Chains A and B, each alone.
Chain A
Amino acid sequence: MPSLVSHPDEVKVLSRRFGMGATDIDKYVELDGYKAVQKAIAEGPEWIINTMKASGMRGRGGAGFPTGMKWSFVPKQSEKPKYVLVNGDESEPGTCKDHVIFLHDPHAVIEGTMIAGLAIGAKLGFIYLRGEYRYLLKIMEKAVADAYAKGYLGKNIFGTGVDFDVITQTGAGAYEVGEESALMESLEGKRGVPRIKPPFPAVVGLYGGPTVINNAETIAAVPHILLMGGEAFAKIGSERNGGTRLFGISGHVERPGVYELPMGYSLRKAIYDVAGGIKGGKKLKAVVPGGSSCPVLTADEIDVGLDFDQMGKAGTMLGSGGIVVLDETVSIVEFALRTIAFYQHESCGWCIPCREGTDWIKKTLTRVHAGGGSKKDVDNVQYLAENMLGRTFCPLGDAAAMPTLGFVKKFRKEFEEYIEGKRVGTPLLQIKPVGEVEMAGAH
């Protein structure tokens, strides 16, 4: 069971109920649960959307799109039913924040789903969890059943005449399904291959109906925002980045864990104060700041605020909030190879730049790692990655290319020295020559 952590700099909004037994519906209600949805019913869709716009909440899945604006794109009138879809297919390496939300506060996800439904005029919401999260799915299923038993879900909720249903759904192992259109395909019982855009899900989404799809963390924040007020939530964060978010700090730190910090909080402080600094008193080498798809930051680049805009300015992304910390012993060649091996495994093959690009980068880096590389290999890796960018249906191609470019550009010298025989760090990977590479789930 994941242990809960705490630090004085945390601002607990989403994590307010963590560790307080809020999986129990009565306890949840006691802790102000299901108040926000009743307020939302009374105040109406326009008020909900305006509150969300005022909150400065931006999508916590990684793209950082303003949530209130996303909801406002859904057409008011629609012949087809509208849907709310909660993305809990958390699969970005370095990310485990939704894990703790489902574990500690499942009703917040349900309540947020209902409020999103009210905002756009949907009567059905889906909460999709990755297949590996079976024990969390059980927690969600129980929470949904309890909410039905109390009359909070189903027909005539809270006696207001409003109907709303929630269905929980399991995936079966696929990183790519975390992409919104691929998730819709999966939920329709198909391979999780991305759809062409436009049309965007807000117009043509699940079953062809207008659909709002939000990350589980975004949805779990919604009831809190409605209760505290949009402006109050916005004020906690930095400019144009409202509120707090759950940062998962992992890798070489003394106290890894999921911490709730205000948007704009210093990355340096997150690593050195909140997470207790580098494990064993070693030196920091690099940080992958928002899940494995974000370009790496070097040890000199961590004086930056953790919000979408500041991270963008620093040449990387806030992403999923999964901060992976690398100490001085790590070989970037090896780390880059492990990263691309993941994307190569997860590429569905639908778009050729992604399918071929990830495969050739992996093959090239495997050769480099095994000691048979040439200087031209580094150029080739960069060329391949540059030619994947923006050339695929879904962001998986970009997610593979961006970190690769970060590694070869910022640590080019290390790659070249590695090729010359000067190895950095202790080998961790078990890479065999191309053709018999042993990697996860080769199938």
Chain B
Amino acid sequence: MSTIANTIFSPELAARFDKLVTIYPLRRSALVPMLLYAQDEIGYVSDEAIAEIAERIGIYELDVRNVLSYYSMLRTKPAGKYNVQVCTNISCMLRGGYEILDHCKAKLGIGHKEVTPDGVFSLEEVECIGACCWAPAMQINYDFHDDLTPDKVDVLFQMYKDGQGKDVK
């Protein structure tokens, strides 16, 4: 039973949010996780999600937007079902990160922060994802893929296309 009438979230997520705002010394501490979990469910942080999260915490929508715009993982527009995030920071760059990025661009036919026409993939060049010793690396949604080669990338894309890819949430 959600404390918000007509919640836009699934019953599971609404229940999770009901609890999340109560565990901290201040309700507002739940804000960053809530935005990320809302995005995981909807695909992006929509206006409706912002309004409901503001109401749940008891702050202005403006406060939510202020915080939302700071964090690079949060987005206000839909991405693809599988968001491909290629790291090109120093350790990955030295081991072929840009080659992997180029390969992804060619393979998917899209550039940075673009979505394929069928909505299956989106592509993003990202900063260090903490996989430096297993470079070059990328994340597809939350899953890490290490020691990449263009061939490995092809196999991964096919797996995700076929619905065989892992999808941690």
Contacts and interface: CB of A to CB of B under 8 A. Distances in A.
A299 B91 CA distance: 18
B58 to A, nearest CB: 11
Nearest to B39: A172
A171 interface: yes
Contacts of A226: none
B25 A441 contact: no
B142 to A, nearest CB: 4
B61 to A, nearest CB: 14
B116 to A, nearest CB: 19
Contacts of A172: 32-33, 35-36, 71-74
Contacts of A132: 73, 129-130, 139, 142
Given A190-B67, A256-B133, A438-B112, A429 B142 contact: no
A169 B31 CA distance: 11
B90 interface: yes
Contacts of A99: 130-131
Contacts of B134: 2-3, 96, 256
Interface string A206-244: 010000000000000000000000000000000000000
B146 A428 contact: no
A155 to B, nearest CB: 15
Given A91-B128, A322-B132, A441-B127, A135 B144 contact: yes
B132 A171 contact: no
Nearest to B24: A167
B102 to A, nearest CB: 8
Contacts of B98: 428-430
A324 B92 CA distance: 10
Contacts of A134: 142, 168-169
The CB with the most chain B CB atoms within 10 A, among A132, A189, A251, is that of A189
Contact of A91 (B112, B113, B130, B142): B130
B155 interface: no
Interface in A157-189: 167, 169-175, 186-189
Given A172-B32, A251-B95, A429-B98, A192 B70 contact: yes
Interface in A78-118: 81, 90-96, 98-99
Given A135-B168, A190-B67, A251-B90, A170 B36 contact: yes
Given A189-B32, A250-B135, A130 B91 contact: no
Interface in A252-304: 252, 256-258, 288, 292
A68 B130 CA distance: 28
A407 to B, nearest CB: 12
Interface string A409-443: 00000000000000000001110000000111111
Contact of B130 (A96, A292, A440): A96
B132 A248 contact: yes
Interface string B71-93: 11110000000000000111101
B122 to A, nearest CB: 13
A94 B91 contact: yes
Interface residues of A, number: 68
Given A131-B36, A189-B31, A2 B94 contact: no
A304 B150 CA distance: 38
A365 B131 CA distance: 27
B6 to A, nearest CB: 24
Contacts of B72: 172-174, 441, 443
Given A131-B36, A170-B36, A189-B29, A252 B66 contact: no
Given A191-B70, A342-B89, A440-B124, A170 B33 contact: yes
A7 interface: no
Given A186-B32, A190-B67, A250 B73 contact: no
Contacts of B36: 131, 170, 172
B112 to A, nearest CB: 6
Contacts of B126: 440-441
A91 B72 CA distance: 13
B155 to A, nearest CB: 16
A208 to B, nearest CB: 10
B107 to A, nearest CB: 16
Nearest to A2: B134
B30 interface: yes
Nearest to B59: A189
A258 B133 contact: yes
B143 interface: yes
B23 interface: yes
A435 B74 CA distance: 24
B52 interface: no
A326 interface: yes
Nearest to A346: B127
A366 to B, nearest CB: 15
A189 B57 contact: yes
B157 to A, nearest CB: 19
A203 interface: no
Contacts of A175: 127-128
Given A95-B128, A251-B90, 17 more contacts: A94-B128, A98-B130, A131-B71, A131-B73, A134-B168, A172-B35, A175-B128, A188-B26, A188-B29, A189-B57, A189-B67, A191-B66, A248-B133, A256-B132, A429-B93, A440-B125, A440-B126
16 contacts: A2-B134, A2-B146, A3-B134, A91-B128, A96-B134, A170-B32, A171-B71, A172-B35, A189-B28, A190-B28, A190-B67, A192-B71, A207-B26, A257-B133, A440-B112, A442-B112
